[in-house]
């Protein structure tokens, strides 16, 4: 494993680190196996945004006895609601309650990085960066020794740049991947981070796994294109190694945090460390991403909570997979979901929250029609 300096924090973190969102809901033993494999491979930075108590307990158990070997990133503003669903909050009471819960369940006195969670819009930024708001709370927790450094996570250049230029944050968590190669302003944002010593932790390096799907026509955001469907042909398969090399080659990026749902997926990204230059070369695929078109779901569930209790990320993941190859396993996984796309009331709450511009209401309706049709066949 190679290590890089995380900006002005001075922390030496593994260039391949770990996002943990795809471990949510997995059995504790499975989570332990993935974390122990990561530790053995030298991964030492873990992003831990999920506030679900069972998940935190499983993670806390997996890190037992390892606290001095790892850097843990907690999120201020990620909570769960009374139904146990993900909830983004700016309530100081909830922020502090779930942060204290983090310390308890991870059996630690501090988070290495305390990330102001998931901010993409100006009014949210204004609420977040108040001295008597979550920023003020983060500064207090830092003064109390409960957080070593402050970070910020978001998906839009405009708010991320303001966070970086505020001088308050030491770490920026931002999506950096091939699919976002041409995002307007992204390169300038990364250069600003480098100039100011803000360490960049790159999320979604594999585009939620979508970049790894084989040569095919990718359905892109036709809702963003005046109602016309646009399809972009991916000419060649892309590997996790190429994805990581793109991400880790970008200015200012200190580490990538791919989300890995299994030891097998983790080994796929760890292969980066031993890959040859030829295996890392992404020049053949970059031309497919010369134009940025938002709107692809990366299955992150930042659009929850859903009043109909639909697991939106998992529903859209199964729908995308089924459109490629509708196997009995996908059929069974969809049937096993506690609620289905057909339960959607089209309230639109999820669509307002999606940071990736996914037209969720329409996509869920398409999924409902697809799986309904299947059940009639």
Residues that bind ligand SF4 (CB under 6 A): 297-303, 306-308, 310, 312-313, 316, 344-350, 354, 356, 358, 360-361, 364
Smallest distance from the beta carbon of 316 to ligand SF4, in angstroms?
A: 6
Residues 98-137: b if buried by 16+ CB within 10 A, e if exposed: bbebbbebbebebbbbbbbbbbbeeebbeebbeeebbbeb
Question: Smallest gap, in angstroms, from Cβ of residue 221 to ligand SF4?
Answer: 11
Burial of 219 (0-12, 13-18, 19+ CB in 10 A): middle
Is the distance from CB of 176 to CB of 190 less than 8 angstroms? yes
Cβ distance to ligand SF4 smaller for residue 99 or 299:
299
Closer Cβ to ligand SF4, 53 or 359, answer by number: 359
Minimum CB distance to ligand SF4 smaller for 248 or for 306 = 306
Nearer residue to ligand SF4 within complex by CB, 13 or 300 = 300
Cβ-count burial of 45 within 10 angstroms (0-12 exposed, 13-18 middle, 19+ buried)? buried
CA distance 370 to 323: 9
Shortest Cβ 37–ligand SF4 spacing (Å): 26
Alpha carbon 368 to its chain's center: 25
CB of 152 to ligand SF4, least distance (A): 18
Give me the least distance between CB of 1 and ligand SF4, in Å please: 29
Pick 113 or 298: Cβ nearer ligand SF4? 298
């Amino acid at each position: 494993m190679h290590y890089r300096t995380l900006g002005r924090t001075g922390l030496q973190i593994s260039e391949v680190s770990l996002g943990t969102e795809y471990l949510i809901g997995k059995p504790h033993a499975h989570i332990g196996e993935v974390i122990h494999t990561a530790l053995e491979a030298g991964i030492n930075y873990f992003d831990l945004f999920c506030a679900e108590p069972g998940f935190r307990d499983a993670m806390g158990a997996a890190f037992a006895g390892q606290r001095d070997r790892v850097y843990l990133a907690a999120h201020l503003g990620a909570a769960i609601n009374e139904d146990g669903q993900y909830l983004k909050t700016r309530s100081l009471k909830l922020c502090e309650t779930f942060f204290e819960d983090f310390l308890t369940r991870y059996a630690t006195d501090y988070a290495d990085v305390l990330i102001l969670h998931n901010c993409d819009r100006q009014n949210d930024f204004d609420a977040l960066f108040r001295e008597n708001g979550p920023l003020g709370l983060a500064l207090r927790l830092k003064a109390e020794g409960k957080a070593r450094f402050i970070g910020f996570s978001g998906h839009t250049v405009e708010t991320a740049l303001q966070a970086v230029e505020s001088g308050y944050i030491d770490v920026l968590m931002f999506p950096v991947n091939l699919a976002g190669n041409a995002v307007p302003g992204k390169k300038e944002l990364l250069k600003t981070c480098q100039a100011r010593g803000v360490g960049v932790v790159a999320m979604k390096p594999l585009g939620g796994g979508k970049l790894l799907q084989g040569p095919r026509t990718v359905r892109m955001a036709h809702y963003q294109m005046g109602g016309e469907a646009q399809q972009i042909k991916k000419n060649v398969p892309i590997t996790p190694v190429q994805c990581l090399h793109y991400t880790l080659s970008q200015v200012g990026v200190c580490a990538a945090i791919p989300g890995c749902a299994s030891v097998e997926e983790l080994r796929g990204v760890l292969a980066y460390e031993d890959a040859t230059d030829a295996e890392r070369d992404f020049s053949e695929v970059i031309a497919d991403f010369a134009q940025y078109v938002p709107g692809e779901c990366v299955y992150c569930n930042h659009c929850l909570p859903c009043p109909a209790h639909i697991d939106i990320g998992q529903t859209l993941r199964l729908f995308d997979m089924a459109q490629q190859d509708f196997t009995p396993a996908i059929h069974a996984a969809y049937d096993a979901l506690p609620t289905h796309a057909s339960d959607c009331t089209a309230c639109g709450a999820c669509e307002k929250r999606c940071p990736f511009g996914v037209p969720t209401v329409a996509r869920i309706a398409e999924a409902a029609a697809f799986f309904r049709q299947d059940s009639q066949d």
